[in-house]
Amino acid sequence: MNSGIPGAGLPALRDHNAALVLDLLRVATVADGGAGISRQELATRTGLTPQAVSKIVARLAGQGLVAEAGRGASTGGKPRTLLRLVRQARYAVGLHLDRDELTVVLVDLAGEAVTERVTPFDLGAGPGAVLEAVAERVREVTSDVPGAERVLLGAGAAAPGPLDHAAGVLGRVTGFPGWDGFALADALAGRLGLPVTLDKDTNAAALRVPADGPRPASFAYLHVGSGLGAGLVLDGALYRGPRTGAGEFGHQTLEPDGPRCACGRRGCLEALCLAALADGDTARAARLLAVGAANLAALLDIDRVVLGGRAVTPAFRDEVAAALAREAAPGTVRVARECAGARTIAEGAAWLVLAPLFGRRRFGFWRRFLAAVPDDGF
Amino acid sequence: MNSGIPGAGLPALRDHNAALVLDLLRVATVADGGAGISRQELATRTGLTPQAVSKIVARLAGQGLVAEAGRGASTGGKPRTLLRLVRQARYAVGLHLDRDELTVVLVDLAGEAVTERVTPFDLGAGPGAVLEAVAERVREVTSDVPGAERVLLGAGAAAPGPLDHAAGVLGRVTGFPGWDGFALADALAGRLGLPVTLDKDTNAAALRVPADGPRPASFAYLHVGSGLGAGLVLDGALYRGPRTGAGEFGHQTLEPDGPRCACGRRGCLEALCLAALADGDTARAARLLAVGAANLAALLDIDRVVLGGRAVTPAFRDEVAAALAREAAPGTVRVARECAGARTIAEGAAWLVLAPLFGRRRFGFWRRFLAAVPDDGF
DNA sequence: GCACTTTGGCAACAGCGTTGTTTTAGTGGG
DNA sequence: CCCACTAAAACAACGCTGTTGCCAAAGTGC
């Protein structure tokens, strides 16, 4: 079998450019003020000709995704017509299935939450009860959407890892062994009547973290909760790895002769760090986390780290930032000022559904600037 | 500034498909026997229609890159016409500037070495002498190529890191501080009259390592020489990171309270491992390397590791493999049976030049299957 | 009020892969 | 030997993409 990169035709070309335009429109709709963006600016930003942009915008407007939104100031000639995304044109559902809490959000086309439901929850109650609870919450959240069957794109579900994103199957959720091997994506899709994408909570969060400043092309989201995990964004897209298991940040050995971890290895960062937190020794926990983060940053040349999870208070975040400044080479990495909030994961889950629309895509086209690896496999 | 993913037109579409076809032809030309590949098979492998493939092949043949090479057996109808790359149609030069040795190879369009020159070398001799030596070797290696100015695509240069791949500028080469900040790519390009791409030796090796079996989409090349570095191949392309500094595998802290390393951090894998090697304690070195590799594999979900570098003998490779089997979760990672040879880096350097021809590219098109990260930066 | 600038639509166009059809080159039964 | 059949590959027409050239619309500024 070959690399599997498919050949492309005119439809792929059209979709590619439409996605670029849609993403620029989304940013212009969401960013401060949401003034919109003109065709001219879309043209310069994409490198397409103004005429091509006009055609693309006309197509998108025909689908109801884009609308005119006033005009800009003149710069000596005809003033620019501003365009915006029609936020109500599509919606996506985001689910965060935590161990004891279920968060369900409805997100509009621009990627912002419209409705939110947070309810207590027992992941140990078994598939039947869990599916029922989720379906009920989703029904509540989507009941106000007119023409839901037409505008609801699907649902994204975030769950504790490890899990198989491609197959939509859960793995060994610590403390809840009954879910191992359960095909949650298919089960939810059947129950909700929607396409469902499943991913790790850390990956969902990485899609939505409020890093301060423009979001870098590569960064790491570090989650400190009942475990220690990471969501890796590399070159502008989530990196999941061959078995969609990437991000096992907590199970790096920091003390080769340390205590045995539940994962089988020794001196795992997760075990050491969580033990320190349990002891109330946040300084030690922060330092351990900083060492792990510095290792990751050095390996991946990452210059930004975002923290999140229940254990991460602003104070702890500051401790980690200070420790990281000591552990890493000066000026190479910094911790984002904001940390991920409670809703981040659920909103990120919805982004699993929206992302293809605004899609930087998996293969092809512009990778010419990277060195591709010769693919000698058959 | 936006993500910078450019819009695509018909030429980009054409180049994308041509690159896919060229890559399949390259594999068929190089793989055992080099029998070639038919238009039909190209069509099924790319997903393009046979007619599209015929047109693409005709274009490529017009440029002299492809030629017919016999016919296959009939399967009941007209037998398939086999096609092969014309290996002499283009060439690339690969340079490995090591501390005490210069390797120069000439590589044909199929990516295989045609000529090789290994000469003693003193990286400390300064730019003038080094450029002169390189230019002379390149002249020797390319003198037999007819119409060199037409068929020589360029030169790739591999040097010890860290360095700035994008700018083509060297960094602090341990032991040779005089090169810090030297714009080697530009200097070489001027001297050779060829486009020059500069990259770390580890990255070059990763482009060309003889991993046993089909090359996986994601793997790590670990280099053990005068330092400890890694070349990361993620999702089928080299991962270099925002500042093209990724792969600092040796500077992960394995002992938070260990000895201070030259890099400023404590208990670095590189310092510990090289010290063990210097002591002749290969078992300890192998175990440390295995711990680092297991950390990397867990974080990136990588299932294959390739070893190379002067310190890596087959025996040491086996020691690391055994240690890794103990350190990592069972069945998750293995060490390739072969380790990278002496020519690997120089050939990989030439691949820096060839890769765009067969190019999976940086952005666009098929990334829709990955979750793109919302790009809110302006 | 007129010259000038900029936006953006209209129309013709070139180039891409696709579709429908025909030609070419084999196989195999009678 | 002939003829029906099959598969590969070229030929021709086509639809759709972004591009180019041109012009109308809508402002600014002297």
> In a structure prediction context, what are the per-residue pLDDT tens digits for chain B, which is 378 residues long?
335 678 888 998 999 999 999 999 999 998 877 888 999 999 999 999 999 999 999 999 999 999 998 888 877 778 889 999 999 999 999 999 999 999 999 999 999 999 999 999 999 999 999 999 999 999 999 998 888 888 999 999 999 989 999 999 999 888 898 999 999 999 999 999 999 999 999 999 999 987 667 778 899 999 999 899 999 999 888 999 999 999 999 999 998 888 888 888 889 999 999 999 999 999 999 999 999 999 999 999 999 999 999 999 999 999 999 999 999 988 889 999 888 888 999 999 999 999 888 875 544 454 444 555 565 543
Residues A82-109 have a mean pLDDT of 95
Contacts of B23 in chain A (CB under 8 A): 3, 374-375
Are A277 and A246 in the same domain? yes
**Is residue A361 domain-resident?**
no
Nearest partner of A300 among A360, A230, A369, A367, judged by Cα: A230
Which nucleotide is closest to B21, CA to C1'? C17
Nearest-CB residue to A31 (from B214, B373, B376): B376
CA distance to partner chain B, nearest, from residue A122 (Å): 28
Residue numbers of the domain that contains B217 = 210-339
Residue B261, domain CATH: 3.30.420.40
CB–CB of A316/A286 below 8 Å? Answer: yes
Range 140-159 of B in CB contact (< 8 A) with A: none
Q: Please indicate, yes or no, whether residues A113 and A54 belong to a single structural domain of this protein.
A: no
Q: Are residues A161 and A263 in the same domain?
A: no
Query: Which residue type does A24 have?
Result: L
In a domain, B376, yes or no: no
Residues A161 and A235 grouped into a single domain: no
Residues of chain A contacting B329 with CB distance shorter than 8 Å: 263-265
In the structure, how far is the CA atom of residue B80 from the C1' atom of nucleotide C21, in angstroms?
20
Task: Look at residue A94 and tell me if it is in a domain.
Answer: yes
**Protein-to-nucleotide distance from the CA of B45 to the C1' of C10, whole angstroms:** 41
The reply to whether B2 falls in a domain is: no
Residues 6+ apart with CB under 8 A from A7: B16, B17, B20, B46, B47, B48, B52
What is d(CA A260, CA A267) in angstroms, rounded to the nearest whole number?
A: 6
Residues B216, B201 within the same domain = no
A249, two tokens: 């940040």
Task: Determine, yes or no, domain membership for A367.
Answer: no
Question: Does A378 score more than 50 pLDDT?
Answer: no
A184 and A280, same domain (yes or no)? no
Contacts of B80 (CB under 8 A, 6+ apart): B38, B39, B40, B41, B71, B72
Task: Please check whether residues A47 and A127 belong to one and the same domain.
Answer: no
Q: State the CATH number of the domain containing residue B34.
A: 1.10.10.10
What's the CA–C1' distance between B78 and C24, in Å? 8
Domain annotation covers residue B138: yes
Q: Which of A115-119, A339-343, B367-371 has the highest mean pLDDT?
A: A115-119
Q: Who's near B218: CB < 8 A, 6+ residues apart?
A: A241, A242, B233, B234, B235, B236, B300, B301, B302, B303
Residues 80-139 of B with CB under 8 A from A: 111
**Does A375 map to a domain?**
no
Which nucleotide lies at the shortest CA–C1' distance from B9? D18
Residues A46 and A58 both lie in one domain: yes
CA closest to B291 among chain A residues:
A253
Q: Are residues A240 and A317 in the same domain?
A: yes
Contact map slice: B 272-331 vs A, CB within 8 A: 287-288, 291, 294-296, 298-303, 327-330
CB contact under 8 A, B377 and A214: yes
Q: Nearest nt to A13, CA vs C1'?
A: D17
- The answer on A249 and A220 residing in a single domain is yes
B230 and B324 share a domain? Answer: yes
Amino acid identity for residue B256 in this structure: P
Total structural domains within chain B = 3
Rounded to whole angstroms, the Cα distance separating A73 from B194 reads 48
Is residue B361 one of the residues assigned to a domain? no
The answer, for A186 touching chain B at a CB cutoff of 8 Å, is no
Please state the rounded mean pLDDT for residues A355-360. Answer: 78
